[in-house]
């Protein structure tokens, strides 16, 4: 079982149970609902001598099976219910969006202090974590050093990393990885029983802990089993988070939960929480060729931005150099077959990843003429960082007019190849009839990882009180301009652990001071009109429009915002993304909450932000390579930022209008093509004030501002407006079907 390392300052004399100093303002009391004790004694061994728990209101709707999984279609005496079974309110102490490595780790570590609700769009085990092949890195060998890991991370990140984030992640890596071992993760071992360490591109030493080539799946299995056995953790599968619930306290925005769509019952509900964690993964589905599963539509990034949180570094999209190339006709047949055999899983995107560990174990890249072409590009050859290898392959494909290159591991002993890469060997055999121990693997680059995201500090805190983010959805500063291989799973582990202290501290702050806001958060939930779930679904013509628009936006992003970029093409796809976002917003307002429209809006929002960040960066650094500015520019050696300007905060209305809040969809939007320097200075002032309050409130624990003054680790928004003018209006395919259009309008209203 994970241990929660709560500092002594959180359990000083006089505090006792969380909220004991302010019992008249406990959550349950202030809302007028019955309070219940926790389902466990909340006394984790070796950490606390006393129990710390939060009082909870009884508002659950649904049931709990043996896996603590809830469905709106069943009831159970094991789960307390509210007097009115139709109530749209669900209450929890800690709300977690996402059930991957970051979300599950966080849930396990805050569970001793209150109830945890995990909201996930698919089944609990579906997400990016289970598709991670390579491993998780930590310095475990005596010949290696933390300083070497730090150096490799900064070099891969093109020196845009936040050095404080790099330092804490690399130094805490060993403890977090060994926690997984103690939890039961079955990693590959050497004959003497020690952990087998492999090497990947950009690493100077062997430091990758792995479970053959299915590391993510093994970590997900171990974490999920522990979470499902925990009586304080409850899963809400097939629930899509729509928007965050934001209210104001002392002039500072606070997150008090989220509005959620039950995809089975087609009902909207509001989860009211004391602390909220976004761990929903990245935005791979913004691109047509991605190793990410279909649930990776950038939901967390988009909703945090709409709520007023700062997002950062979204121009840095990692394209993995080696995904399996399958000709389009055969790929469609394989996808159809996989859906028949595993209908509840969304498959790992349209591209199957060939882990970097293949190159780490000696795999070599050749073009179709048999030339080992990496000798032309980098003296590290196949072990150069991913951005360099991906651009090298892209150059080969374009210059030679070829569709793939070849990755060859067949010179290694057959038993060794099949032992290290059984999943890849099986997939290549099933898909192409190819024996990787005898034949080279056809590979092409594919979108793999979103290096930017919701801007966070060293405790996973965002610019909104009570809102935390970790994993791929966050931009902690660890990766800089390019992620070092196998640092992603590690980042989720480290920052999920570091978020526990401030989450518990913030929960106590809410209980003591925000009783009125909690009551209003529950009382103001109104899911009528445009906020109502669309029970009947979309018409066939609208479904066709959504599918067509989504695909054409993704293809435009691949062409115009891919591995190699040009400013004029970025401006074109920016205009297109804006139009798609506005059309999706109008469609939500007209038709109500539907996951297809929610995802389309989120994809368009993240696409727009990605391009906006790319237009700000007038240099080539790391994963952002533009032909207009092909060199490094020291004056641009700082993160990019985007923040939605808001005059004040109140309960956020989110998508499609309705409600009483400012800060949801339909508010003011930053336009990098037309904004003025003064507008960005105003945004910077807003961000500074909010963030200073955030750190003052959390107490005397040492922590770093998420925008330190160091030039190498700055987090202060310094957005420079682009001088590029947007192109003409995007193509007319954005317009929904004619029968759905209001006269004289090209979008739904």
Give bridge partners of residue 442 from the DSSP assignment: 406
> Residues 421, 424, 429, 433: is their CA dihedral positive or negative?
negative
Nearest of 568, 569, 543 to residue 556 by alpha carbon: 569
Tokens of residue 616, six digits: 């700000």
Non-local CB neighbours of 77 within 8 Å, separated by 6+ positions: none
Nearest of 304, 275, 266 to residue 117 by alpha carbon: 275
Alpha helices in 421-487 (DSSP H): 422-432
State in Å, rounded, how far the first CA of the chain is from the last one. 51
Q: In what order do the strands lie in the sheet with 467-469?
A: 69-70, 233-236, 116-119, 94-97, 275-278, 467-469
Residue in this structure with the two tokens 């349950």, named with its chain if needed: 28
Give bridge partners of residue 641 from the DSSP assignment: 312
Is the Cβ–Cβ distance between 206 and 198 less than 8 Å? yes
Is the Cβ–Cβ distance between 133 and 215 less than 8 Å? yes
CA distances from 712 to 386, 442, 460, 476, 611 (A): 22, 39, 19, 14, 24
In the chain, the largest separation of any two C-alpha atoms, in whole Å, equals 76
Q: Parallel, antiparallel, or unpaired for β 136-137 and 208-209?
A: antiparallel
> Residues 188, 194, 196, 199: is their CA dihedral positive or negative?
positive
Q: What DSSP designation does 361 have?
A: T
Alpha helices in 64-214 (DSSP H): 101-110, 146-156, 163-183
Q: What DSSP designation does 539 have?
A: -
From CA 174, how far away is CA 354, in angstroms rounded? 26
Q: Parallel, antiparallel, or unpaired for β 56-57 and 35-36?
A: antiparallel
Nearest of 92, 420, 127 to residue 292 by alpha carbon: 127
From CA 67, how far away is CA 739, in angstroms rounded? 46
From CA 27, how far away is CA 556, in angstroms rounded? 48
CA distances from 379 to 5, 23, 366, 382, 639 (A): 44, 65, 15, 9, 28
From CA 181, how far away is CA 386, in angstroms rounded? 28
Residue in this structure with the two tokens 């619930």, named with its chain if needed: 245
Is the Cβ–Cβ distance between 74 and 96 less than 8 Å? no
From CA 105, how far away is CA 279, in angstroms rounded? 10
Is the Cβ–Cβ distance between 641 and 315 less than 8 Å? no
Angle at 364 between CA 359 and CA 367, to 5 degrees: 130
Non-local CB neighbours of 653 within 8 Å, separated by 6+ positions: 243, 531, 659, 660, 661, 662, 663, 664, 665, 666
Give bridge partners of residue 57 from the DSSP assignment: 35
Please say if 704 is a catalytic residue. Answer: no
Non-local CB neighbours of 539 within 8 Å, separated by 6+ positions: 737, 740
Catalytic pick among 359, 386, 498, 550: 386
Q: Can you say how many angstroms the Cα of residue 111 is from the centroid of all Cα atoms in its chain?
A: 21
Non-local CB neighbours of 635 within 8 Å, separated by 6+ positions: none
From CA 187, how far away is CA 486, in angstroms rounded? 14
Nearest of 384, 368, 324 to residue 376 by alpha carbon: 384
Tokens of residue 248, six digits: 């104001």
Is the Cβ–Cβ distance between 396 and 426 less than 8 Å? no
Task: Give the catalytic positions in this structure.
Answer: 386
């Amino acid at each position: 079982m994970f241990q929660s390392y709560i500092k002594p300052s959180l359990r000083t004399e006089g505090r006792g149970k969380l909220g004991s100093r302010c019992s008249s303002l406990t959550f349950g009391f202030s809302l007028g609902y019955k309070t219940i004790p926790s389902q466990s004694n909340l006394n984790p061994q070796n950490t606390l001598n006393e129990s710390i728990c939060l009082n909870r209101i009884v508002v659950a709707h649904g049931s709990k099976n043996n896996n603590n999984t809830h469905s709106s279609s069943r009831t159970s005496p094991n789960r307390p219910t509210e007097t009115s079974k139709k109530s749209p309110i669900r209450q929890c102490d800690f709300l977690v969006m996402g059930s991957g490595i970051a979300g599950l780790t966080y849930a396990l570590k805050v569970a001793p202090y209150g109830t945890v609700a995990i909201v996930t769009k698919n089944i609990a085990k579906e997400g990016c974590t289970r598709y991670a092949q390579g491993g998780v890195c930590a310095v475990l060998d005596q010949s290696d050093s933390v300083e070497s890991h730090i150096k490799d991370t900064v070099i891969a990140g093109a020196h845009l990393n936040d050095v404080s984030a790099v330092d804490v992640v690399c130094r805490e890596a060993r403890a977090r990885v060994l926690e997984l071992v103690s939890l039961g993760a079955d990693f590959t071992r050497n004959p003497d029983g020690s952990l087998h360490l492999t090497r990947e591109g950009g690493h100077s030493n062997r430091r990758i802990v792995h479970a053959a080539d299915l590391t993510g799946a093994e970590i997900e299995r171990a974490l999920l089993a522990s979470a499902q056995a925990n009586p304080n953790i409850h899963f809400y599968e097939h629930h899509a988070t729509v928007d965050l619930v934001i209210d104001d306290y002392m002039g500072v925005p606070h997150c008090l939960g989220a509005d959620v769509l039950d995809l089975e019952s087609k009902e909207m509900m509001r989860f009211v929480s004391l602390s909220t964690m976004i761990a929903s993964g990245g935005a791979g589905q913004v691109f047509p060729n991605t190793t990410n599963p279909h649930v990776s539509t950038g939901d967390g990034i988009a909703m945090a931005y709409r709520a007023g949180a700062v997002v950062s570094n979204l121009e840095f999209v990692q394209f993995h150099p080696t995904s399996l190339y399958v000709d389009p006709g055969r790929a469609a047949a394989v996808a159809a077959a996989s859906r028949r055999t595993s209908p509840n899983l969304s498959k790992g995107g349209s591209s199957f990843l060939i882990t970097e560990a293949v190159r780490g174990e000696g795999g070599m890249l050749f073009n179709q003429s048999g030339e080992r072409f990496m000798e032309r590009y980098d003296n590290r050859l196949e072990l150069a960082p991913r951005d360099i290898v991906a651009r090298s392959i892209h150059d080969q494909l374009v210059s030679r007019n070829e569709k793939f290159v070849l990755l060859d591991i067949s010179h290694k002993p057959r038993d060794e190849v099949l032992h290290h890469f059984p999943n890849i060997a099986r997939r290549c055999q099933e898909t192409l009839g190819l024996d990787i121990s005898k034949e080279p693997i056809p590979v092409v680059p594919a979108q793999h990882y979103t290096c930017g995201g919701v801007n966070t500090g060293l405790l996973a805190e965002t610019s909104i009180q009570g809102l935390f983010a970790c994993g791929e959805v966050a931009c902690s500063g660890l990766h800089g301009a390019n992620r070092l291989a196998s640092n992603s799973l590690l980042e989720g582990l480290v920052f999920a652990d570091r978020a526990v202290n401030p989450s518990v501290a913030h929960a106590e702050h809410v209980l003591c001071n925000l009783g009125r806001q909690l009551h209003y958060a529950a009382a103001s939930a109104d899911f009528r009109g445009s906020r109502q779930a669309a029970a009947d679904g979309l018409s066939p013509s609208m479904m066709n429009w959504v599918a067509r628009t989504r695909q054409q936006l993704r293809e435009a992003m691949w062409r115009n915002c891919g591995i190699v970029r040009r400013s004029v093409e970025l401006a074109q796809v920016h205009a297109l993304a804006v139009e798609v976002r506005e059309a999706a917003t109008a469609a939500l307002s007209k038709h109500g909450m539907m996951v297809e429209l929610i995802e389309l809006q989120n994809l368009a929002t993240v696409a727009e932000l990605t391009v906006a960040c790319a237009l700000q960066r007038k240099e080539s650094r790391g994963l952002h390579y533009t032909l207009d500015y092909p060199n490094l520019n020291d004056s641009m050696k700082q993160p990019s930022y985007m923040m939605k300007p808001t005059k004040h905060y109140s309960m956020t209305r989110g998508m499609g209008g309705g409600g009483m809040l400012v800060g949801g969809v339909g508010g003011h939007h930053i336009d990098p093509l037309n904004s003025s320097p003064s507008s960005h200075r105003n945004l910077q002032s807003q961000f500074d004030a909010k963030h200073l309050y955030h750190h003052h409130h959390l107490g005397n624990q040492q922590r770093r501002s998420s925008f330190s003054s160091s030039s190498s680790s700055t987090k202060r928004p310094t957005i420079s407006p682009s001088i590029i003018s947007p192109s003409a209006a995007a193509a007319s395919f954005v317009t929904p079907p004619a029968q759905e259009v209001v006269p004289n309008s090209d979008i739904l209203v």
